[in-house]
Structure formats: structure tokens, C-alpha cells
Amino acid sequence: MLNIILFGPPGAGKGTQSQFLREKYHLTYISTGEILREEIAAESELGLQVKEIIGKGGLVSDEIVARIIEKKLSENVNSPGFLFDGYPRTVPQADILDDLLQKYNMTLSGVLSLEVPEEMLIERMLERGKVSGRADDNIDSIKHRFVEYNEKTQPVMGFYEAKGNLHAVNGVGEIPQIFANLCSVIESI
């Protein structure tokens, strides 16, 4: 089983690269952000609960995303593997993921960390905002997403580094080249 976390700051290209990775390795894709946006679009109870936080670029609670992850894992126990995009985003989420993987007899293959300088990220996200229709691709929300990332998400790297699971990948360049960088790490783990 190949269980991969695609890690990186907002705008690093996780969503784009995930589309290629899930196809090549036949992985069950779990993007907590995408699932939450679907809930908002469906105006579900959960969607209404998280809409404002997401619009402002904040993080939703660890409990909410844990429920999403467990549901996906339990529904896909026979999958060849999972690709986590945008999860875990806090150290408590990383702890919860460890417990959940253990519960379902799965192990983490590796954490691929896409590295892109911050100035480039903001530029990319503002460009994306012109077409994405995402409520959080505006300058105020983007700034807040970086504050959240630096404060709460970056420490997750240390968590996985300590376990020997973290692999840095150059996230600057053409999309196919970055995909090749990711694949070569996957082939080596």
C-alpha cells in the first residue's frame, strides 16, 4: 500500500500534482479542503458551520477534519493507497492520523513536502483567484492562510522529520518537472 501525504504551503501546487499522482498510483484522494468546499456548496449543516472560517482563511477544527478522514478511510479499506492533500495541517491532526492509520492497519509511506518561496506563492494564488471562484483566494484571506500555515502547519514538518518520513521536493518549475521530482521520491521510498 502506498500512503502519501502531499505537504506544502497554500498555493504550492498540491492540488495540481495530486491529480497526476492519484492517477499514476491509483490512489484514493483525500483533500479535506475540497470536501469542505463541497459541503459549503451543498449548504449542508457542516458546510454552514465552516463557511465563514474557510472564507477568512482560518483552519477548521481538528475534530471536524478527523471525522472526514475517518469516513474516507473506512469507506476505502481495500484501496491500493491514499493520497492526503491538505491534511494534516496541525500537529494534533498528525497524531490523529497516526492513530487512524493504525486502527485501519495502514502505514504511512512518506510525506512529500513541496518547497516554493512565499513571494511566488502569493502571486500564484492571486492568479488562481481570477479563475478558481474560491472565496479564500483574495489577498486578505491569503495573508491569513499564511499566518495559520506558519503558526500551526509548519510544525507538522518537524513531527514527520523526527520520524524520518519527510522528503523535501523542489516545487519551482514546470508542472511536469515537479511531477517527475515527486515520482522519483516515491520510487525511492
- Does 13 bind ligand AMP (CB under 6 A)? Our answer is no
Q: Which residues contact 150 (CB under 8 A, 6 or more apart)?
A: none
Task: Give the residue among 22, 19, 55 at the shortest CA–CA distance from 37.
Answer: 55
Q: How many residues bind ligand AMP (CB under 6 A)?
A: 17
2: cell is: 502506498
Instruction: Name the one range near ligand AMP by CB under 6 A: 1-9, 31-39, 109-117, 178-186.
Output: 31-39
Q: In the range 51-80, which residues lie near ligand AMP by CB under 6 A?
A: 53-54, 57-60, 65
- Does 145 bind ligand AMP (CB under 6 A)? Our answer is yes
User: Which segments of the chain are extended strands (E)?
Assistant: 2-7, 28-31, 81-85, 110-115, 166-170
SS3 28: strand
Q: How far is the CB of 161 from ligand AMP (least distance, A)?
A: 19
Q: How far is the CB of 188 from ligand AMP (least distance, A)?
A: 26
Amino acid found at 134: R
Dihedral angle over CA of 56, 57, 60, 65, nearest 10:
140
Of 9, 13, 86, 171, the one binding ligand AMP (CB under 6 A) is 86
Binding site for ligand AMP (CB under 6 A): 10, 32-33, 36, 53-54, 57-60, 65, 86-87, 89, 93, 136, 145
